[in-house]
Structure 1
Amino acid sequence: MLAQTQYRLSAADLEVVLAMARTGTLAAAGERLGVDASTVFRAVQRIERGLGQRLFARSRTGYLANELALSLAERAEQVEAALESARTVVNAAPDQVSGTVRITTTDTILVGLVAPALQALHAVHPNLAYDLRASNELASLTRRDADIAVRATRRPPQHLVGKHLGSIRVGLYAGQGSGMTLADVEAGRTPWLAIDDAIPDHPSVAWRKRHFPKAMPTYFLNSLQIVAEMVAMGMGVGILPLLMGRACPDLMLLRDLHDANQSELWLLTHPESRHLRRVAVVYGHLAQTLRLP
C-alpha cells in the first residue's frame, strides 16, 4: 500500500503523467521530457507515493495508465493547450505573423475540420500561407516534410508532441435519394464502396469484414472524400466518419456503428517546430478550435 498524504500536484507532475500515458514506457516518456528513463521512474514513484495510489500498471511491455492517470492526463492536455494558446498570444503581438505552415492530414479531416479552422485564422493573420497536403500517409515531421499533422491514430509517434482531439465515430451511409435501406444492405442487395487497399486498418474495413464477411465491394477507392461523393450519387453504401455525413445533406445515415473500433484524432508537431512563431500560432489555434462532432 502507498501511504496517503496531502500532496499538491504540480504542472511538472502533470507533464510526467501525460508523457507516460501517451508513450507507455519510461524511455519514450524521457525522450519527450528531455530527461533519462531513471529520472522519469523516480518522478512516477514520487507522484504515486504523494497521491497514495498507483497511476500505472507495470508489465513487461511497459506502463499502462489506469483511470486516475488518464483523468490526470486529460487535464494535463488542457494545461498544455492553454500554454500553447498563451504562447500564441505572445508570439502574435504586436506584429502580424507571416510565413508558410505545412500541414498534412487526410482529405476527410482537411475538408471537415482543418479548412474551416484555417479560414477563421486567416481573418486574424492574413499574411500566413498554408501548404496543405491531403494524404493517407503520415508525412515525416522529423525530416520537416510538414510542420503540423492532424491524424487518425491510436498511438502517435513517440518523438512527436501533440493534443488528443477525440474519437472519430463512423456510420453506414447511403445516398439520400437512393432508396437504399439497411434491410437491402443486410440482404446483400446493395453495392459497397470501400478503401481496403488504401487504408487497410480503417475501422470501416474491419467492421464490414466482421459483419458482412461475404460482401465483396464493387468499388475500391483511395479517398474517403470520393467514397462520400459516390455514395451521395446513389452508387452504393459506404462507411464514413459522422463528421462527413453531418456536413453533406445528400448522405443518409443507415446505422451509427457504435461497435466499430474508433480511430483517435491527434494534432501533432515536432518539439522543435512548435516554438517557431508561425507554427506556434497555427498549432495553438487548431488546438483550441478543432472539435469532433
Structure 2
Amino acid sequence: MTARTQYRLGADDLEFILALVRAGSFNGAAERLGVDASTAFRALQRIERGLGQPLFERSRTGCAPLELARALAAQAEAVEAALEAARSAAQQQPQDVTGTVRLTTTDTILHGLVAPALRMLHASHPRLEYELHTGNELASLTRRDADIAVRATQRPPQHLVGRHVGPIRVALYAAKDSSLHGWAEVEAGSAAWIAPDDALPEHPTVLWRRRRLPKVVPAYRVNSILTVMELVALGLGVGLLPVFLARGRPDLRVLGEVIDECQTELWLLAHPESRHLRRVSTVYAHLAQALVLE
C-alpha cells in the first residue's frame, strides 16, 4: 500500500475500527453501526488505503486486528468514554442518573444476586436502564460489549478493575420431602444425580463429583445450575448448589456440610475506560454494597 501522508483519521473512522475490533467480523461491525457488510468492507478498504498499511488480518473466521488497529481502538475507546460522559453531564439534572448500563454475568448469579440488587437500585435511580447478558465467558467485558461483569473466578483478568465480593460456597441438596438423610445414602448410590456435566464440564461441582464419586453417572444432565436447582426441588435427585442460591428455597434441604473443594470466589469487575462514567459507577458502587453471599 502507498502511504498518503495527508490522510486524516476522523471520528467516524475510529468508530468503525473500534466496532470491527470488538465484533471481529464485517457482519458484526456492520450490525453495530447500522450498515450492511459491503459498506463496512469498503470503509476498511478506504481507511487502509489512506493510511498506507493494513489494519486487520482477514481470514475465513473473521478479522484479527493488527498492532495499529489495536492502538487506534484504544484511542477510540477513550473518545467513546469522553463522549458518553459529556452526553450524560448535558442531559441529567444534578441528582439524576440516566443511561444504559450493560452488565454480564451467569444466569445463576443474575437470578440469585444481581437482579434482587438492581430491584433495590430502581427506587433511587428509576431512569437507569440495563442490558443484561448471561454467559460463561468474560470476552464481552474485555471487548467493551459490557460495562460491568459479576463473575465466579479464582483469577480475574489483571486489566479489569475488580472488587472481591466473597466466597461462593457449595453444598449438596435434596428436595425438602426427600427420604434421604445424609451422605451415606448418597455415596451408596441411593440417589439420582442432577448435574451440568456436558454444558459446564470444568465447573468445580462437576470436577469434584468426578474425583469424589467417579462411578456416579448423572441421571439428568442439564445446561445450567438453575436447572439443577429446579429439578432437585421437584424431587428428581440430588445436586450440588451454591448456598446463596438455595438459601431462600423452602422446598430444598441441605445434606451435610459445605464442600470446601467446590468453593470459588465472586468478583465484581469493570472495564477501566467506563468505570468512571456516572451511570456505571452508580451501579458498580451499589452492587459492591448489595451483593451479599452469606
How many percent of aligned residue pairs carry the same amino acid?
62
Q: Which amino acid aligns with 1:242?
A: V
Distance 1:259 1:97 in 2: 41
Q: Deviations over 1:210-244 (max 9, x none)?
A: 22110011111111111100000000000000011
Q: Deviations over 1:107-154 (max 9, x none)?
A: 111111111111111000000011111222334213111111000000
Q: Which amino acid aligns with 2:265?
A: E
Q: Which residue of 1 aligns with 2:257?
A: 256
Gaps of 5+ in 2: 1-88
Q: Is the 8 A contact 2:151 2:266 kept in 1?
A: yes
Q: Which amino acid aligns with 2:105?
A: T
Distance 2:249 2:191 in 1: 21
Q: Which amino acid aligns with 1:118?
A: L
Q: Does 1:155 align with 2:183?
A: no
Q: Which residue of 2 aligns with 1:107?
A: 107
Q: Secondary structure at the match of 1:112?
A: helix
- Deviation, 1:258, is 3.2
Q: Is the 8 A contact 1:172 1:239 kept in 2?
A: yes
Rate the CA distance shift 1:152–1:93 in 2: closer, same or farther, 3 A.
Answer: farther
Which stretch of the first structure deviates more once superposed, 199-208 or 160-169? 199-208
Q: Which residue of 2 aligns with 1:244?
A: 245
Q: Which residue of 1 aligns with 2:280?
A: 279
Q: What are the within-5 Å matches in structure 2 for residues 179-194 of structure 1?
A: 179-182=179-182, 183-194=184-195
Q: Which residue of 1 aligns with 2:174?
A: 174
Distance 1:213 1:224 in 2: 20
Distance 1:194 1:252 in 2: 17
Distance 1:157 1:259 in 2: 24
Larger radius of gyration: 2
The number of residues matched between the two structures is 203
Q: Deviations over 1:16-38 (max 9, x none)?
A: xxxxxxxxxxxxxxxxxxxxxxx
Q: Secondary structure at the match of 1:205?
A: helix
Q: Deviations over 1:130-183 (max 9, x none)?
A: 111122233421311111100000001111111011110000001111223323
Q: Is the 8 A contact 1:112 1:247 kept in 2?
A: no
Q: Is the 8 A contact 2:172 2:239 kept in 1?
A: yes
Q: Is the 8 A contact 2:172 2:240 kept in 1?
A: yes
Q: Which residue of 2 aligns with 1:36?
A: none
Q: Is the 8 A contact 1:176 1:252 kept in 2?
A: yes
Runs of 4+ in 1 over 6 A off after TM superposition: none
- Deviation, 1:93, is 7.4
Gaps of 5+ in 1: 1-90
TM-score when normalising by structure 2:
0.66
Q: Deviations over 1:13-62 (max 9, x none)?
A: xxxxxxxxxxxxxxxxxxxxxxxxxxxxxxxxxxxxxxxxxxxxxxxxxx
Q: Secondary structure at the match of 1:173?
A: strand
- Deviation, 1:201, is 2.5
Distance 1:275 1:193 in 2: 43
Q: Secondary structure at the match of 2:123?
A: helix
Q: Which residue of 2 aligns with 1:120?
A: 120
